[in-house]
Amino acid sequence: MKIGFLGLGKMGTPMALRLIAAGHELRVWNRSEGKTEPLIREGAIVAGTPAEAELGADAVITMLFDDAAHEEVLFGANGLLDAMSPGVLHISCSTISVALSERLTKEHAKRGIDFVAAPVFGRPNIAEQGRLWTVMAGAEEAVAKARPLLETFSRGISVVGKEPRQAHAVKLGGNFMIGAVIQTLADSFVYAEGQGIDPESFFETVNSALFQSPFYAGYAKVMLHPPEQPGATMELGEKDLRMLREAAAERGIRLSLADSLAAVFAEARALGISREDWPVGMYRLSQRRNSEHR
């Protein structure tokens, strides 16, 4: 298929490379030109504007940072939406607000464009391995058309409904649970250190006895053996938590743990560590907070 791919960050680039490896023709766009180099080497064509990425495409995939980026890329000058033809499929793999997802659903319907929400779970190294978990929602025919493309970088796909908003809501809920895991690990490791127990030994014991969770193990490894380059930053985690709380508030729901985590993120921002790797930053923040109170 001919695919337009917009957004070549830490996640978008490996996803796009998997599509090229699967034999698809890609026309790519990114705000910073340097990010297109790995795709050019593999045969992708670079578009000068978001609108140009759609030229001749059967499907367009967006993997953009936040709601503001979508406003610019989809609705701005030379934006994607006005360039798309009826019958073209738009797959949104980004983590966006439920409110924006609802707006996009209406805007696509006006234009006769198929719209599928397909946000992904996984860090950049998982994307490189083609082992993301994708959450899909949309009309049945559109979902069926999107599935083969998403399978190129997914180890599994969950279809959660016919309304795109449902997939984006699931993604925000999952990221909230990730935040809870990260905060639990950070505070537990500081607790272990305070008791004179090696955090790694503490974790191996508790995980073996209670969870047997590779997910907990993966984040524990990141905390105790920090990567050279951040995967997901604390800034990204804070953005997703804000969108979760907004979606909950729209339905009259209050999440007490989400409120507590929001306070932790605000503290990290005040201390200027929001751009650190999310698990690593939370661990350091917990250590710093406790060392100051001894």
Provide the residue type at 6 as one letter: L
Distance from C-alpha of 27 to C-alpha of 47, rounded to nearest angstrom: 6
Among the listed residues 10, 145, 171, 239, the single catalytic one is: 171
Q: Which of 236, 233, 257, 255 is nearest to 246 (CA)?
A: 255
| Coil vs helix vs strand at 158 | strand
Phi, psi of 211 (to 5 degrees): -110, -40
Classify burial at 270, counting beta carbons within 10 Å of its beta carbon; exposed 0-12, middle 13-18, buried 19 or more. Answer: exposed
Q: Is 2 a catalytic residue?
A: no
Distance from C-alpha of 237 to C-alpha of 266, rounded to nearest angstrom: 11
- β partners of residue 25: 2
Q: Which of 215, 251, 236 is nearest to 282 (CA)?
A: 236
The conformational region for residue 197 under phi > 0 = left, psi -120 to 50 = alpha, else beta, is beta
* Residues with active-site annotation: 171
